[in-house]
Amino acid sequence: MTDQSYAERNKDFCTSSKLKAFQKCPFCFKLECIDMIPNPRAEERDYFTTGTAFDYVAEQGGKLDKYEQQYPIIRKGTKQYDRAVAEGVTPITGTIDRDVRAMVHEFKENPLFVPKIKKEKLIMEFGGLKLKAELDHCDNKNKIIYDLKSTANIMNFDPSFHVFQQSFYHWMKEELTGERYRVRLLVADKRPSFSRSRVYEYTEPVLMQARGLIFPLLEKYKQAHDLGIFLPPEDERECETHDYYGYESHGRLSRVLYF
């Protein structure tokens, strides 16, 4: 997680992204999602902006007019950039704009994609926690959940990375409706001149296996909140890749490594 606005609008809820962040490092989770300390690596992650902009255009059915107003190309560090941010728009680079346009073209060309996404929010209580899911699109007639993904290179895309999130959606939808839904990923990649796309559908055994991880993690999540204790992983070396490396010495090894 490096999207601070996501943490702010979901501060009272438990989401799949917050659960995964908690699982990786409870200490970093607390800094970002409870203490609301801005992620020090957020500005290095252009893919969040690219994905959000892609989602935005997909909500417009692939039309670019509103996108061009909401995501203008403005060089960072200029007065125009600061003014745009103050007005609530998101300035982007020419590279991001190029990638978004390529993905939008592929979004419209692939007949397996939905022609337009319509967000759907799911909210429920479970075990004393308020849970929330933000679905990119849900076909309630045919009972299919769709999630739109962008990736750097589709040849390296691994759907297993997203199975926990999709299983969380799958479970919440079933709890709220009493019906089983299928789950599909709509994936497009970022290329200099063109985008490629694929559609993945998770099998029921894969979703159910991932569901088995949700309940013990929810229990640990609630216990940490009740006690106010959020400890980093025991293996210090796991913390060297964390975004909050160095914060209160987090992730900095406390012992000499002998070679």
| pLDDT tens figures, 34-78 | 998 887 776 655 668 899 999 999 999 999 999 999 999 998 889
pLDDT of residue 4: 54
Residue numbers in the chain where pLDDT is lower than 50: 1-2
Determine the Cα–Cα distance for residues 202 and 33; give it in Å rounded to an integer. 29
Three-state DSSP class for 207? helix
Residue with token string 């969380």: 168
pLDDT of residue 45: 58
pLDDT of residue 246: 81
Residue 231: burial class (beta carbons within 10 Å; 0-12, 13-18, 19+) = exposed
Determine the Cα–Cα distance for residues 240 and 24; give it in Å rounded to an integer. 12
Which domains, ranges and CATH numbers included, belong to the chain?
12-224 (3.90.320.10)
Strands 144-151 and 182-189: parallel
Determine the Cα–Cα distance for residues 134 and 147; give it in Å rounded to an integer. 10
pLDDT of residue 47: 67
Determine the Cα–Cα distance for residues 3 and 15; give it in Å rounded to an integer. 14
Joined tokens for residue 246: 């160095």
Joined tokens for residue 132: 């929330």
- Torsional sign, CA 159, 11, 122, 218: positive
**What's the whole-model pTM score?**
0.90
Residue 247: burial class (beta carbons within 10 Å; 0-12, 13-18, 19+) = middle
Q: Which of 217, 144, 147 is nearest to 177 (CA)?
A: 144
201 Cα distance to chain centroid: 18
pLDDT of residue 248: 79
Residue 75: burial class (beta carbons within 10 Å; 0-12, 13-18, 19+) = exposed
Determine the Cα–Cα distance for residues 255 and 259; give it in Å rounded to an integer. 13
Determine the Cα–Cα distance for residues 22 and 28; give it in Å rounded to an integer. 8
CA atoms within 13 A on the CB side of 86: 6
- Torsional sign, CA 50, 17, 154, 141: negative
